[in-house]
Amino acid sequence: MVEADKPTVVAAPGRLVAAVAVAGAIVLFLAVGLTGLYRYVDSYWLYRGFPPPRDPTFVRQEGTFQTIQVRSAAIGGRAQRVVVYLPPGYDRNAQQRYPVLYLLHGFPGDPDGFVRTVRVGVVEDTLLAESKIQPLIIVMPMGSTGVFTDEEWANGIHPHSGWETFLARDVVGAIDARYRTIAGGAGRALGGLSEGGYASLNIGLHHPAEFRVLESWSGYEKAENVKSIFGGRPELLVRNSPLLTLPKAASRLRREHAFVWFYAGSTDRLLRQNARFAAELTRFRIRHAFFVSDGGHTWRIWRDNAWAAIEVAAAHLAHG
């Protein structure tokens, strides 16, 4: 049996146009949606949910940011990005020398968190406009091979993993050579957030003559047993635990008139460890200030306390 040919259905021109329009609208909707999602995620990563940094309207003079590269044999000859904030008037006051606050990022992280989320430039510009501090340079190095690479800012067991040496010797040396700094411990503060806070204490206790002020923002005082860095070696874990190295460093810290400023959030799991370190500082008669800030281990707490952190550094450092 032979079937008759089936009739061919031809869409009316109006329907075809409508179908194409609907399809185009769907594609456009998806594209706009994906673009919006990307922008949201990108913005959140850049600013952690906060608005972009902007000086208040009453601030008449703004500092400037520069990015330099520091090459270091301690990390295999790598050139690392270092972000530098120069306070308002740096270029005009050619004879003035400035103290330096070094800030170390956490993990995962990079220097941009201090610029975009903590807003160190806005904070210092504002404090200067309100005549609450004298100016200082802020230096923010990149302390790992990538945002998601953990180095603990420590001298690790593998070749070319001397991140403490990179900071304490090569970054400090490069900044003193390039900028008008007060080149000495009396003109340097070392701070950081989370892992960077731990590192500031760890490096500071190893180099008590190099940094007058040590700041830890939600840091810790006992080394994390990261096998790729410390290899599980007890002697390295002890040497890189400020809570355990403090007794040996105490007399030198007192002689150098060191000041330790640190805090932890009220719901931070690291609170107890920080309170114990504060008790040890008291026992060894090291000048310090420890407080508990409302909150957890978050960008909000670091952003809110950045004002006090910069004021403290400026108040305890020598000025030119």
Mean pLDDT of the chain: 91
Question: Residue 20 pLDDT more than 70?
Answer: no
Q: Tell me: pLDDT of 199 over 90.
A: yes
Average pLDDT of 233-261?
98
Does position 44 have pLDDT exceeding 70, yes or no? no
Please say if the pLDDT value at position 10 is more than 60. no
Q: Which of 319, 207, 208, 196 is nearest to 262 (CA)?
A: 196
Residue 1 pLDDT class (50, 70, 90 cuts): very low
Cβ distance 188 to 100 under 8 Å? yes
**Structure-token pair, residue 183:** 């080149």
Q: Is the pLDDT of residue 37 over 60?
A: no
For residue 193, report the phi and psi dihedrals to the nearest 5 degrees: -110, 140
What lies within 8 Å, CB to CB, of 151 at 6+ separation is 107, 143, 144, 145, 161, 163, 229
Provide mean pLDDT across the span 161-190: 98
- Rounded to whole angstroms, the Cα distance separating 248 from 228 reads 27
What six digits make up the tokens of 76?
Answer: 């295999």
| Whole-Å CA distances, 99 to 163, 201, 240 | 23, 19, 27
pLDDT at 49 over 60: yes
- pLDDT, one tens digit per residue, over 269-282 is 999 999 999 999 99
Residue 175, pLDDT above cutoff 70:
yes
- Amino acid 47: pLDDT: 86
| pLDDT band of 48, cuts 50, 70, 90 | confident
Evaluate if residue 43 carries a pLDDT over 50. Answer: no
The more confidently predicted of residues 128 and 1 is 128
Q: Which residues pair with 140 in a beta bridge?
A: 83
Flag the least confident range among 15-29, 92-106, 290-304. Answer: 15-29
Mean pLDDT of 144-165: 98
pLDDT at res. 222: 98
Mean pLDDT, rounded, for 24-52: 60
